[in-house]
Amino acid sequence: MKNHDKYHLIFAYESRIFVAMENANTNPKMEEWFDAKLQKNEMVEPKDWMPDNYRKHLIRQISQHAHSEIVGMLPEGNWITRAPSLRAKIVLLAKVQDEGGHGLYLYTAAETLGVSRDELLDALHTGKAKYSSIFNYPTLTWADIGAVGWLVDGAAIMNQVMLQRTSYGPYARAMVRICKEESFHQRQGYESICHLAFGTEEQKQMAQDALNRWWWPTLMMFGPTDANSPNSANAIKWKIKRESNDQLRQRFINQTIPQIEYLGLTVPDPDLKWNEEKNGYDFGTPNWDEFMAVISGNGPCNKERLKARVDAHKGGEWVRAAAKAHADKKREMEFAA
Amino acid sequence: MSDSQGPIWEVFVQKKPGQPFVHCGSLHAFDKEMALQNARDLYTRRSEGTALWVVPSSAIVSSSPEDLGPFFEPANDKVYRHPTFYQIPEGVKHI
């Protein structure tokens, strides 16, 4: 099967989750009105008329974004108890708490489109919904925590800065909050990597090893190449995305290489070369077969991540039940009084 | 729609005393105390506010986008409600 077909299959499968929302809401006149609104760069708000496919696309994208934030807490949470100093520990705790917060902003933004939190969580827990494939890689050493903040959050910011101008109001507003908070994430990551890169030879090796393992998966975070990205055309047409996967990937590389050079580390890409003509770097091809394997559930940590989420949800069940019982009882007492 | 997370609440934050409360997002909670605590943890982690309002989403009444024209139309032809509508002779000050 060609890659293009594989992506189609995966995304077609994902969008089936929300098939219940489909109600043949086609209306040429309204679609014309909607397109004109987008042309004027006006934001779409929850109560506005919108094409079904726009709604479905947003639910898929925003909920996957939310899942990524929540699952993203796991690889970093892995190091909270082993942080090398109290300062490193409070920073990491604050960062992981932020990721949880970002997930919640995004879930509520998705819920404005008429889908419930339970449906969204269910799609994640049953493996129907995707999350960013990067979080299926393990954090093996402390250097990985620096690399995740610097590279993974750096790549996420590249995407999220663009999404601050996305056409759906609640999503754009969530992105503005998130971007404000993310820049701390990236800076603390780079600071942490600096300590290692300018430390002992052994520490420098740790930093290089982390860069070697995270570089390519980070580049894959921007998604398939434009030629192989079936959802991109609609996303651009509807102004959900304003730049393509390849454009964002190129900008990330251009910005990050000087940061790597400053550290005295080596980019694990023999094809990397400055191209004067395009005023950017040429780079090698990511291993898209690996990307497909990870996104289809066969990465190093997919099962572990999903199990951790399901266990956390089940483990919290009694807390939710108790909170609800307490609220119900109090309401009854207020009513009786 | 069943929701194991409790109902949705809208959160409004006042940045500084004296300023208006501004909508900043929503959250799930089972009761008002929990809504207020969750709002603090979710929307004021960096001292973004000095006061919070939480309101059950179901209590909010909003105008419909379809009403945009007719609903707000009565204000459109009343330019005389703005100070710039009036001409003041040159030389007259403090008005």
3-state class (DSSP) for residue B26 = strand
Q: What are the tokens at A286? A: 């990511």
pLDDT band at A70 (very low <50, low <70, confident <90, very high): very high
DSSP helix/strand/coil, B30:
coil
> A110 exposed, middle or buried (CB, 10 Å; 0-12, 13-18, 19+)?
buried
What is the chain A residue with the closest CA to B57?
A: A112
Which residues of chain B have a CB within 8 Å of the CB of A49?
Answer: 65
pLDDT at A2 over 60: no
- Cross-chain CB nearest to B65 (options A45, A105, A108): A45
**Sheet strands side by side (includes B8-14):** B21-28, B8-14, B51-56
d(CA B14, CA A111): 24
Closest listed residue to residue A135, CA positions, set A68, A81, A44: A68
- Taking CA atoms, A103 is separated from A99, A204, A244, in Å, by 6, 33, 23
Q: pLDDT band at residue B11, thresholds of 50, 70 and 90?
A: very high
B3 touches chain A (CB under 8 A): yes
pLDDT computed for residue A307 by the predictor = 97
- State ipTM: 0.86
**Nearest CB to B3: which of A116, A174, A330?**
A116
**Alpha-carbon distances of B76 from B64, B73, B80, rounded to whole Å:** 18, 5, 11
> Which residues from A are below 8 Å from B27, CB to CB?
104, 108
pLDDT at residue A23 tops 70: no
- Least-confidence region, from A80-94, A118-132, B62-76: B62-76
Task: Using DSSP bridges, classify how beta strands B8-14 and B51-56 pair: parallel, antiparallel or unpaired.
Answer: antiparallel
Range A108-117 average pLDDT? 96
pLDDT tens per residue across span A26-52 = 688 899 999 999 999 999 999 999 999
Contacts of A330 in chain B (CB under 8 A): 31
Contact A118, B4 (CB under 8 A): yes
Confidence of residue A183 (pLDDT cuts 50, 70, 90): confident
- Above 80 in pLDDT, residue A25? no
| Whole-number pLDDT of residue A27 | 82
d(CA B72, CA A116): 32
Mean pLDDT estimate for chain A: 91
pLDDT in tens, A234-287: 899 999 999 999 999 999 999 999 999 999 999 999 999 999 999 999 999 999
Q: Chain A neighbours among B 11-50 (CB < 8 Å)? A: 24-28, 30-31, 34, 41-42, 45-46
E strands along chain A, which residues?
Answer: 273-275, 280-282
Q: Closest Cα partner for A100 from A141, A72, A64, A134?
A: A72
CB contact under 8 A, A104 and B27: yes
- Give residue A8's pLDDT: 43
Q: Contacts of residue B8 in chain A, CB cutoff 8 Å?
A: 108, 111
